[in-house]
Amino acid sequence: MTMIASEMLETYPADLGGIDREKLAACIGECFACAQACTACADACLSESDVGALVKCVRSNLDCADVCAATGRVLSRHTGYDANVTRAVLEACAAACKACGDMCAEHEHMAHCRHCADKCRACERACRDLLASLG
Amino acid sequence: MTMIASEMLETYPADLGGIDREKLAACIGECFACAQACTACADACLSESDVGALVKCVRSNLDCADVCAATGRVLSRHTGYDANVTRAVLEACAAACKACGDMCAEHEHMAHCRHCADKCRACERACRDLLASLG
Amino acid sequence: MTMIASEMLETYPADLGGIDREKLAACIGECFACAQACTACADACLSESDVGALVKCVRSNLDCADVCAATGRVLSRHTGYDANVTRAVLEACAAACKACGDMCAEHEHMAHCRHCADKCRACERACRDLLASLG
Amino acid sequence: MTMIASEMLETYPADLGGIDREKLAACIGECFACAQACTACADACLSESDVGALVKCVRSNLDCADVCAATGRVLSRHTGYDANVTRAVLEACAAACKACGDMCAEHEHMAHCRHCADKCRACERACRDLLASLG
C-alpha cells in the first residue's frame, strides 16, 4: 500500500510544497490499511460467540474505519493544500486510532483484535509523525 | 434529514448519556446534507467553462464531503461513546466546513457555490454548537 | 433531504441529459437518508441485550450504508454521465436495500429496525424507479 | 495491501463458506489500492494545466474511488454472507473500474492516468475472477 501511495505521489504534476513525501506516503498507506483492518475486525467481532462483550470494540472499529478512510482520501489530495484542515483531520485520525488501538489491545487473545491493534498503532504513529513534520 | 436523524435517535434502545439530543440530531442532519451538497458542488464546478479557476474549490468540496460523511456516521453511533474521538472529529468537520464555506463564498455568483457555502456554514455552526454543548 | 438534492440539481450549470430530475432527486435523497438510518440501526442493534441474534442484521446494515453512500455520491454527479456505471450501481443499491429491508423487517418489534426497514424499502423503490426511467 | 487483507482473513473466527480465499483477499486488496489511486488521480488531473480536457476523467475517478471503497468494505465482511448483494456489488465495481480504466487509458501520456489505469484494470480483473469463482 505504501508502495502504491508512493507511486501515485511521484506522478503528481505540480509542486507538493514542503511536505515530507516519505511520511506522507507512509501515512496514506497506513490509513487505507487501518480502514481495511478495522472493517474486518468489526465483522470478526460480530462472529465471536461472546459478541455481547465486544460491542464497544465494534463501535470503535467502525469509527476508526470511517475516520481513516476519510483521512486517507484527504491526504491523497495535494491541490490547494490547506494546513488547518490537514492538521485537524490528522488529529481526529490519531484520536480514533488511539481509541480503537486501546480497545483492541484489551482483546489481544483474539487474533483479529491483535492484528487490528497493530494497524491502529501504526496508523496513529504515522499520523503523529506527519503532524510533527508539518511544524 | 434532521427529521430522519431525530426519528432514528428516538429508537436508540439504550441511554444516550447527557448529550443534547436536538443539537446532536441537527448536527447529524447537517453533516449528511453538507456531504451531498459538497459532492454535487464539486461536480458542478467541473462543468463550469472556467474549471481551471475552480480546482481549489473542487478540492475543498471533496475534502468537506469526506469529512462530513465520516462525521455524520460517527455521530450516528452512541454505543460506547468516546468523548475524545467525538470532539476531535467535530473539530475536523468544523475546519473542513469553514475552509469549504470560505472557498465557495468567493464564488457566490455561481448558484451551486452559493448553496454549498450555505450548507457548509450551517454544518460548521451545528458542529460548534454540539462541541460547546459537550462541555 | 430530497429538497436539498433538488436545490443542488437546479444549480447544475450544464445539461442533465434526458434523465428524470424528480426521480433522480428522490433517489439521491433516499440514498443519503438510508445510509444514515442503516448506520444508526447497526449501532442500535449493538445496544440490544440480544445482540447475538442480530449480528446478521448489523452486517446487512453496514453493507447497505456503504452501498447507499456510494450510490448517493455517484448520482450526485452529472458530468460525463456513464449509463453502464449508473445502472450497475443502482442495481447494487437496490440489492443491498432489499437484503437489509428484508432482514430488518424480521425485527419490526424493535423501533430502529422498523424505521430502518421503511427507509430501505423507500430507497430500493427509488432505485428501481430511476432504473426504469433510464430505459 | 493484499498481504494485509490475507492476514485479517486468516483471523476470521467463523467459517468463510466455500469462497476462494486467495481470490477474495486479492480482490479486497485491489479495491482499496484502486480507491487510493483513483482519489489521487482525480486530484492530479485537477493540477494539470489542461484540466478542462480532463473533467470526465475526474468524474470517472471519483465514481470509481467511491464504488471500490464500498466494495472493499462489503468484501471485508463475512458474517451473514449474502450472495446476491456480493454479486451485485462486484458487478458495479467491475463496471466502474472498466469505465475509469478506459478513460485513464486515453491519457496514458500522463503518469498518474497510466498508473491509475493499471490499478483499475487489476481491480476489474480481480472482481471478475471473484465473481467467476462464486459460481
* pLDDT top residue among B107 and C1: B107
Q: Does D51 touch chain A (CB under 8 A)?
A: no
Sign (positive/negative) of CA torsion B32, B35, B40, B41? positive
Best of C73, C76, C85 to disrupt the D interface (most D CBs within 10 Å) is C85
Phi, psi dihedrals of residue B106, rounded to the nearest 5°: -75, -15
- The mean per-residue pLDDT over the stretch C81-87 comes to 97
Chains near B (3 or more Cβ pairs under 8 Å): A, C, D
CA-CA distances (angstroms) from residue A102 to A9, A59, A97, A98?
A: 31, 13, 8, 6
d(CA C45, CA B21): 19
Phi, psi dihedrals of residue C40, rounded to the nearest 5°: -70, -35
Torsion of CA B42, B47, B53, B58, to 10 degrees: 10
Site of grid cell 472557498: B103
Site of grid cell 428524470: C20
- The mean per-residue pLDDT over the stretch D13-33 comes to 94
Chains near C (3 or more Cβ pairs under 8 Å): A, B, D
d(CA D84, CA A34): 27
Q: Which of B72-86, C9-23, C58-72, D58-72 has the lowest mean pLDDT?
A: C9-23
Number of neighbours of residue B50 by Cβ within 10 angstroms? 10
Strands in chain A per DSSP E: none
- Which pLDDT belongs to residue D33? 97
Question: Do the beta carbons of residue B97 and residue B127 sit within 8 Å?
Answer: yes
Best of D41, D49, D55 to disrupt the B interface (most B CBs within 10 Å) is D55
Q: How confident is the model at residue D1 (pLDDT cuts 50, 70, 90)?
A: low
- Which pLDDT belongs to residue D4? 72
Segment 84-103 of chain C within 8 Å of chain B by CB: none
Q: Which of B13-27, B60-74, B114-128 has the lowest mean pLDDT?
A: B13-27
- Please report, in angstroms and rounded to a whole number, the separation of the first and last CA atoms in chain C: 26
Mean pLDDT of chain B, nearest integer: 95
- The mean per-residue pLDDT over the stretch D37-59 comes to 98
Phi, psi dihedrals of residue C76, rounded to the nearest 5°: -80, -5
d(CA B74, CA C70): 17
Best of A9, A19, A30, A32 to disrupt the D interface (most D CBs within 10 Å) is A32
Give the chain C residue whose CA is nearest to the CA of B81: C43
Residue in A7, A36, A69 nearest the CB of D5 = A36
Chains A, B: CB contacts under 8 A, how many?
Answer: 95
Q: What angle do CA D52, B69, B107 make, to 5 degrees?
A: 40
Residues of D in contact with B62 (CB under 8 A): 42-43, 62
d(CA B111, CA A82): 24
In whole angstroms, what separates CA B11 from the centre of its chain?
23
Number of neighbours of residue B49 by Cβ within 10 angstroms? 9
Question: Do the beta carbons of residue D19 and residue D134 sit within 8 Å?
Answer: yes
Percent of chain D with pLDDT over 90: 92
pLDDT at residue B14 tops 60: yes
Residues of B in contact with A94 (CB under 8 A): 88
d(CA A64, CA D108): 36
- Which pLDDT belongs to residue C84? 97
Span B89-110, pLDDT tens digits: 999 999 999 999 999 999 999 9
D30's grid cell: 485491489
Q: Is B36 in Cβ contact with C12 (below 8 Å)? A: no
Residues of B in contact with A63 (CB under 8 A): 73-74, 77, 82, 85, 89
Give the chain B residue whose CA is nearest to the CA of A75: B63
Site of grid cell 465520516: B70
DSSP B11: T
- Which pLDDT belongs to residue B4? 72
Best of B41, B43, B46 to disrupt the D interface (most D CBs within 10 Å) is B46
Q: Does C60 touch chain D (CB under 8 A)?
A: yes
- Which pLDDT belongs to residue A1? 53
Q: How confident is the model at residue C4 (pLDDT cuts 50, 70, 90)?
A: confident
Query: Per residue of chain A (135 residues), what is the pLDDT tens digit?
Result: 556 788 899 999 999 988 999 999 999 999 999 999 999 999 999 999 999 999 999 999 999 999 999 999 999 999 999 999 999 999 999 999 999 999 999 999 999 999 999 999 999 999 999 999 997
Chains near A (3 or more Cβ pairs under 8 Å): B, C, D
Q: Does B36 touch chain C (CB under 8 A)?
A: yes
Q: Is the complex ipTM more than 0.95?
A: yes
Residue in C43, C49, C59 nearest the CB of A46 = C59
Q: Is B37 in Cβ contact with C32 (below 8 Å)? A: no
- The mean per-residue pLDDT over the stretch D29-57 comes to 98
- Which pLDDT belongs to residue A55? 98
- Which pLDDT belongs to residue A39? 98
DSSP string, C19-87: --HHHHHHHHHHHHHHHHHHHHHHHHHHTSTTGGGSHHHHHHHHHHHHHHHHHHHHHT--TT--HHHHH
d(CA D101, CA D38): 10
Span D91-106, pLDDT tens digits: 999 999 999 999 999 9
Q: How confident is the model at residue C35 (pLDDT cuts 50, 70, 90)?
A: very high
- Which pLDDT belongs to residue C18? 85
Span C37-73, pLDDT tens digits: 999 999 999 999 999 999 999 999 999 999 999 999 9
- Which pLDDT belongs to residue A2? 57
d(CA D133, CA D106): 31
- Which pLDDT belongs to residue C89? 98
d(CA D45, CA A133): 27
Span D103-129, pLDDT tens digits: 999 999 999 999 999 999 999 999 999
CA-CA distances (angstroms) from residue A98 to A44, A123, A127, B49, D131?
A: 20, 9, 11, 45, 37
Residue in C77, C82, C99 nearest the CB of D84 = C99
Q: How confident is the model at residue C2 (pLDDT cuts 50, 70, 90)?
A: low
Question: Do the beta carbons of residue D73 and residue D51 sit within 8 Å?
Answer: no
3-state secondary structure A58-92: HHHHHHHHHHHHHHHHHHCCCCCCCHHHHHHHHHH
Closest among A88, A71, A8, A62 to D34, alpha carbons compared: A8
DSSP string, B43-90: HHHHTSTTGGGSHHHHHHHHHHHHHHHHHHHHHT--TT--HHHHHHHH
Q: Does A123 touch chain B (CB under 8 A)?
A: no
- Which pLDDT belongs to residue B3? 65
Question: Do the beta carbons of residue A117 and residue A124 sit within 8 Å?
Answer: no
Give the chain A residue whose CA is nearest to the CA of D69: A69
Nearest CA of chain B to the CA of D51: how many Å?
A: 6
- Which pLDDT belongs to residue B66? 98
Give the chain C residue whose CA is nearest to the CA of B119: C4
Q: Does B55 touch chain D (CB under 8 A)?
A: yes
Nearest CA of chain D to the CA of B46: how many Å?
A: 6
Q: Is A84 in Cβ contact with B63 (below 8 Å)? A: no
Residue in B39, B76, B111 nearest the CB of C73 = B39
Q: Does C14 touch chain B (CB under 8 A)?
A: yes
Q: How confident is the model at residue C17 (pLDDT cuts 50, 70, 90)?
A: confident
Please report the domains of chain D, with CATH numbers, ordered by start residue. Answer: 2-11+19-134 (1.20.1270.360)
Residues of D in contact with A28 (CB under 8 A): 36
Nearest CA of chain B to the CA of D57: how many Å?
A: 10
Span B65-88, pLDDT tens digits: 999 999 999 999 999 999 999 999
Best of C9, C11, C64 to disrupt the B interface (most B CBs within 10 Å) is C11
Q: Does D28 touch chain A (CB under 8 A)?
A: yes
- The mean per-residue pLDDT over the stretch D16-34 comes to 95
D50's grid cell: 489542461
